Structure 1
Amino acid sequence: MTTLADPVPGGRPGEVERAGALAGELSARGVHGVVLSYVDTAGVGRVKTVPTARLEQAVAWGVGMSPVFDTFLANDHIVTTDVLGSPDGDLRLHPDLDRLVALAGQPGWAWAPVDRITQDGTRHPGCSRTVLRRIVADAAREHGLAFRAGIEIEWSVGLDSAPAGEFVPATTGPAYGATRQVELSAYTAELLAACAAQGVDVEQIHPEYAPGQFEISVGALDPVAAADRSVLVRQTIRAVALRHGLRVSFSPAVTAEGVGNGGHVHLSAWRDGVNLHAGGARRYGMTADAEAFAAGILDRLPALTAVTAPSPAGYLRLKPSQWAGVFTAWGLETREAALRLVRGTAGARERQANVEVKPVDLAANPYLLLGTLIAAGLDGIARAAVLPEETTGDPAALPAAEARARGVRRLPTSLADAVTAFRADEVLRDALGPVLADAVAAVRQGEIDAVAGLDDERVAAAYRWVY
């Protein structure tokens, strides 16, 4: 579980003492430094690090970081809003000790996600992790709901010896092929061992479709912990790869053509320990609230795309008939639908049933991602929203008149269109708050401007090694 309370200057009761004990344990294991990790508005992982002996101080008083990072672009240029983007001010990074872990893939280092608070000790309105924690807490208090989430991770494995900036697949075997598993056997075996040592339960790891592509699926957790885990697993994938002479990319489009890297989200709503997506009287065992939750997400997918696919490179991936889910459609086990209902195996559905959101890539900040998805679903519950007619097969094959009648329409085909939809969506903006919502819009516009005039291959190259 994740710490649900906000950090406070001086530390919560007993927290500093706990940090001291943990620091001693880590030092005894040869851990010399702690990575303090967060994800910025553009979806880039940012860090500060402290010696292990300074963990107590970091927990008590935080570590300084400028709020300007809330408006960094993926290329490290800075945009501004009415509140953010100036050189003024300071924040404090407070590590969450419940998520602290020694990094098996980076001997000598530990890792912890942080919440960011102001110098006065109040919540920083631009901290996406804090916002997600608040959304989850509000849902529990106001609706009696809890959530379980998992984010699939696809990545492309290249040779670190490739010419600078280029991607050369590290394995040439066919999609899902045994050849790939054999050729990168030592790498993936060490990756599994590292995940196990870090307490990450891996459900499966396998070669995927695109050249050099793999996927890992991990166990579901509460949303904040699931977002933390997504960041941790990606750090581990990258670190272990470098030990094997490999380089990895989580970019949605490593090259301009072909299938890119996705980051599908699995999400389920629970009340009093009962999964609302199983055992109900609605379609495929959904309860009324589960259907309304799914309908709320489906209704807001055009605006959500500014969060789920926040990079211009993501729109090279979001193409019909490539299992990216680019139409506002839902279906049972329908991999071309944007919203896929996963019932699970007979006998285990009360644990496994969930909704999968497919038009998602790993440029997305996972805290913003889960926060906005939950906010959209909660709005669906508040409106008692109902799912439209189910779509089977490929929505791209529907005749235009039938697609219109069903409400099946193409999701935004550019980041600019997604930003326009996001700016107009009061539910999502209210969920994030005005400071963070404005930062999202400004950073997305900055990314659009940064690649203006570039062809698809140059767009892919611009983001190839960012994520």
Structure 2
Amino acid sequence: MDRSQILAHLQAHPSPKVKIAIVDIDGVLRGKVVHRDKFLGIVDKGFGFCDVVFGWDMADMSYDNVSITGWHTGYPDAQAQVDLTTFRQIPWEDELPFFLGDFVGPTGAPLPACPRNLFKQVIARAHDAGFAPKFSQEFEWFTFAENPQSLAEKDFRDPTPMTPGMFGYSILRSSYKQSFFSDLFDELLAFDIPLEGLHTETGPGVYEAAIQYGDALEAADRAVLFKTAVKEIAMRHGLTSTFMAKWRSDLPGCSGHVHQSLWDETSKKNVFADADSDTGMSALMESYIAGQLHCLPHILPMMAPTINSYKRLVEGAWAPTTLTWGIDNRTTALRALLPSSSATRLETRVCGSDVNPYLAMAACLASGLYGIEKGLKLEQPAVVGNGYEVKEYGVLPHSLEAATHAMKHSEIARSLFGDGFVDHFTASREWEVRAYAQAVTDWEMRRYFEII
């Protein structure tokens, strides 16, 4: 629909309600429901939205180390703008109209802390270079026979998985909760989040879904909305889903792999493909890969943003630990996929399912473009075999604290994303590190309580 059709549709809709949402620095969807008349009045001029959403963490605890907002500013309203191109209707809420929005600063420039605006700026750089980036994301997640109340009563200990056993790619297990499985596929499609595939993964109550690829911003919108939509659909079935990177040490982690390619805006061809090369990869794709390998240690918190992210990034757990690439190799950080000229793409396997998709995709695209702009050569050979053993090119930081320190002091990160974003984002990650350092864990209780 174009603008006039969308506004006419809202006028004719039987419900007077409209839902608007923005995405905070952690990838959490924050929003409100407004009356249709209110919405029609803010379409052009924008609306105020309390900037506390960039002044607190995912548990609504106020930061004490950020400058963009806080007690020192009084938490005023920030200016937000509705993006009409994001119009959807929520099928499990009686087709309630839904829109995403972006934050801007006092002068109308993008707010540095706004993840969606950050990704839009990186996409603009790609278009300026003549490229149309195409992206998609795939997610793994666990689902439990729990609700918010039962989880709270258990203190989040030993939640009951939706299904038992290690049933990867199981037709049997996907039919066991068939109504939930079918609703995921059908209602996500109706919410304009089309899936390429949906299947069980190895582990109790775990699924994997691959979202159809598309233009980069639309791909990120789909990925962000996918995570919340899955949780809402699960709740309707008396279930709870989690996108934690690693919820139990003896089970596989959950990935959020990002697939990406660049297309020539004039010829409409995939510029990652080159039928005349030995591998089928173009020199431009090689520079894109080289850029990601070079930049990864500088921007890792955008792909591994939580304390828990680094419990997934361990050897032999289907997640990378080394700065490596390979052709169809699932043990490396970057996996080149070359099935055909149109489907030639790069899969960044570092990302877990706990990422903010806007930030993860911005990190992938900006670092790849860095390699192209700098003319980097892919001198590092493709790994054949076990990528965990190839450590001579470097390893990923082992903790959020180490990764955040590297990003905060990185000139590369600041050149890619600007001081405003890097300062705010790394401060939010430092807060996360401090919050964890103050916690007394079950592991500490079991290890020290009796013996010391």
TM-score, structure 2 as length reference: 0.89
Supply the distance in 1 between the matched residues of 2:293 and 2:42 (Cα, whole angstroms). 41
- Which segment drifts farther, 157-166 or 294-303? 157-166
Report SS of the residue matched to 2:219: helix
Q: In structure 2, what is the equivalent of residue 367 of structure 1?
A: 358
Q: In structure 1, what is the equivalent of residue 48 of structure 2?
A: 64
Report SS of the residue matched to 1:433: helix
Report SS of the residue matched to 2:336: strand
Q: In structure 1, what is the equivalent of residue 322 of structure 2?
A: 327
Contact 2:69/2:75 (8 A) holds in 1: no
Contact 1:95/1:115 (8 A) holds in 2: yes
Question: Number of residue pairs matched?
Answer: 431
Supply the distance in 2 between the matched residues of 1:89 and 1:55 (Cα, whole angstroms). 21
Supply the distance in 1 between the matched residues of 2:442 and 2:325 (Cα, whole angstroms). 32
Q: Work out which of the residue numbers 126, 129, 153 in structure 1 matches 2:139.
A: 153
Supply the distance in 1 between the matched residues of 2:146 and 2:16 (Cα, whole angstroms). 27
* Ranges of 4+ aligned residues in structure 1 off by more than 6 Å: none
After superposition, the C-alpha distances for 1:297-325 in whole angstroms (9 at most, x for unaligned) are: 11111222211010001111111111111
* 1:63-102 equivalence runs, <5 A: 63-79=47-63, 80-85=65-70, 86-102=73-89
Post-superposition shift, 1:413? 0.8
Q: In structure 2, what is the equivalent of residue 117 of structure 1?
A: 104
* 1:152-301 equivalence runs, <5 A: 152-161=138-147, 162-164=150-152, 165-166=156-157, 167-176=159-168, 177-271=170-264, 272=266, 273-282=268-277, 284-301=279-296
Residue 419, structure 1, aligned to residue 404, structure 2: yes
Q: In structure 2, what is the equivalent of residue 11 of structure 1?
A: none
Contact 2:303/2:351 (8 A) holds in 1: yes
Distance 1:163 1:137, change over 3 A: closer
Contact 2:143/2:240 (8 A) holds in 1: yes
Report SS of the residue matched to 2:341: helix
Supply the distance in 2 between the matched residues of 1:19 and 1:232 (Cα, whole angstroms). 20
Distance 1:297 1:61, change over 3 A: same
Q: In structure 2, what is the equivalent of residue 9 of structure 1?
A: none
Post-superposition shift, 1:456? 6.8
Supply the distance in 1 between the matched residues of 2:262 and 2:118 (Cα, whole angstroms). 18
Report SS of the residue matched to 1:215: strand
Structure 2, unaligned stretches of length 5 or more?
445-452
After superposition, the C-alpha distances for 1:24-62 in whole angstroms (9 at most, x for unaligned) are: 24x23xx44333222211232222221334321231232
Q: In structure 2, what is the equivalent of residue 34 of structure 1?
A: 18
TM-score, structure 1 as length reference: 0.86
Residue 126, structure 1, aligned to residue 123, structure 2: no
Residue 394, structure 1, aligned to residue 386, structure 2: yes
Contact 1:173/1:180 (8 A) holds in 2: no
Supply the distance in 2 between the matched residues of 1:196 and 1:69 (Cα, whole angstroms). 29
Q: In structure 2, what is the equivalent of residue 313 of structure 1?
A: 308
Distance 1:288 1:71, change over 3 A: farther
Code of the residue aligned with 2:345 in structure 1: it is N
Report SS of the residue matched to 1:55: helix
* 1:371-450 equivalence runs, <5 A: 371-387=362-378, 388-398=380-390, 403-404=391-392, 407=393, 409-450=394-435
Q: In structure 2, what is the equivalent of residue 7 of structure 1?
A: none
Post-superposition shift, 1:75? 2.0
Report SS of the residue matched to 1:23: helix
Q: Work out which of the residue numbers 23, 29, 34 in structure 1 matches 2:10.
A: 23
Contact 1:103/1:110 (8 A) holds in 2: yes
Code of the residue aligned with 1:287 in structure 2: it is S
Report SS of the residue matched to 2:415: helix
Using CA pairs below 8 Å that are at least 6 residues apart, which structure has the higher relative contact order? Answer: 1
Structure 1, unaligned stretches of length 5 or more?
2-13, 460-467
After superposition, the C-alpha distances for 1:335-378 in whole angstroms (9 at most, x for unaligned) are: 0100000112xxxx122110000111232221122112211111
Contact 1:263/1:360 (8 A) holds in 2: yes
> Percent identity at matched positions?
27
Supply the distance in 1 between the matched residues of 2:180 and 2:428 (Cα, whole angstroms). 35
Residue 47, structure 1, aligned to residue 34, structure 2: no
